[in-house]
Chains A and B, each alone.
Chain A
Amino acid sequence: MESLTFRHTTTKPLPGTKPQAITGVVASGNLEILLERVLPPDAVEVAIETPIAGYGPVWEAVVADFVARAQPGGVRISINDGGARPDTVSLRLLQGARLMEA
């Protein structure tokens, strides 16, 4: 297993008040994403556990793109990966952010 953690600062907190959300399933080509509103409003942390080693730069790019688009300030994001493709990861991250905004 490879563990990756990325930290970013955002210009604003993620809208909404929902304290946590989970989306996706740990299955082949899929992943689960747990979001918790536990950080300072301008901070975001994404921690990934993946069985597919060696894709750190791809994860870094997908996470940076998500943070730029969603500005998910205040949220700690934990990922259990089942070998998802970057587009699936991106989709799930945006789904998770949307659930927190509800």
Chain B
Amino acid sequence: MAGPSAGPDRDRLSWYEASARQRLDALLDPGSFTEALGPEERRMSPHLPLFDLPRAFDDGIVVGTGTLDGRPVYVAAQEGRFMGGAFGEVHGGKLVGLLRAAVEGRPAAVLLLLDTGGVRLQEANAGETAIAEAMRAITEVRAAGVPVVGLIGGRAGCFGGGGLIAGTCSRLAVSEGGRISVSGPEVIETNKGAEEFDSKDRALVWRTMGGKHRRLIGGADAFCDDTIASFRAAALSLIADAPAFDLDTLMAEQARLRERIERFGECRDGTEIWARLGVNDPDAVPSLDTRAFDETVARIGEAAHDAR
């Protein structure tokens, strides 16, 4: 609905700056998106009024169907600016419903435009349940042979239960602005102290949770420029090479995650991990542009792994 029309501006639109609706509108083939449970149905949170908090007509997530390069896809986009994109009861229910519908509908892929701080504290039990149900539903979609691709480059990053959902996806694309983790910077600092993790040190946050770090250790499978066009290209290529969802894949992932702890468990910073991976000049990584960074990634075997 609201959003730019077709053309170059649509492609160059910043993923980070765009709203959930603008991202979907520009990502999918023009005019192909059909929303389910749109804002006019007013499926809003039943809990937020108890806390005197404003609601959103779509509860902060847009779900529906469309086409990507002519192929049918199911899509969900979180609005990171509404309550930090956090999962509440309705928000989570819409995502789970979409995933379950994908098991029946068998689209070419499910695209999850994740932009979330995790669970909405005002409706935490419902949010936690939704995270668990979404993870189970993703495995069922993947078991049905439909790849689930996460696209992460928003203001809220992808934290808490959103990080768990990301770890369940077939493939992930991330931009420089994207961050992926379970416990966020402030959560770690609150629980372990500023000596353990200084959440005010934004460079540290990006070195340990940012898109480049996740890409280098194979936690994400593509690194994107902060444009819709870059995310669209990444989504198409990730759909094409999504891994099988079988016992062999899971065993290989488990083995690699065990090995990762052994290799990097003592490291205190992203730069130490990058040095052990064989990056020539780890301190230069944060300032590399996308092409130079992709060349670095190509020299690192670790980044080609499937496991997260």
Contacts and interface: CB of A to CB of B under 8 A. Distances in A.
A30 B80 CA distance: 13
Interface string B5-23: 0000000000000010100
Interface string B27-57: 0000000000001100000000100111111
A40 to B, nearest CB: 19
Interface in A1-37: 1, 20-23, 25-27, 30, 32, 34, 36
B1 A22 contact: yes
B2 interface: yes
A80 B55 contact: yes
Contact of A22 (B39, B52, B54, B82): B39
Interface of B: 1-2, 19, 21, 39-40, 49, 52-57, 79, 81-82
A20 B1 CA distance: 8
Contacts of A80: 54-57
Contact of A27 (B40, B55, B81): B81
B2 A1 contact: no
B40 A81 contact: no
A44 B81 CA distance: 29
Interface bracket on A: 20 to 34
A57 to B, nearest CB: 20
Given A1-B49, A30-B81, A36-B40, A23 B55 contact: no
22 contacts: A1-B49, A1-B52, A1-B54, A20-B1, A20-B39, A20-B40, A21-B1, A22-B21, A22-B57, A25-B56, A25-B82, A26-B82, A27-B81, A34-B57, A36-B40, A49-B54, A49-B55, A51-B52, A51-B54, A78-B57, A82-B54, A99-B1
A1 B123 CA distance: 18
Contacts of A50: 54
B99 to A, nearest CB: 24
B53 A51 contact: yes
Given A32-B57, A78-B57, A99 B2 contact: yes
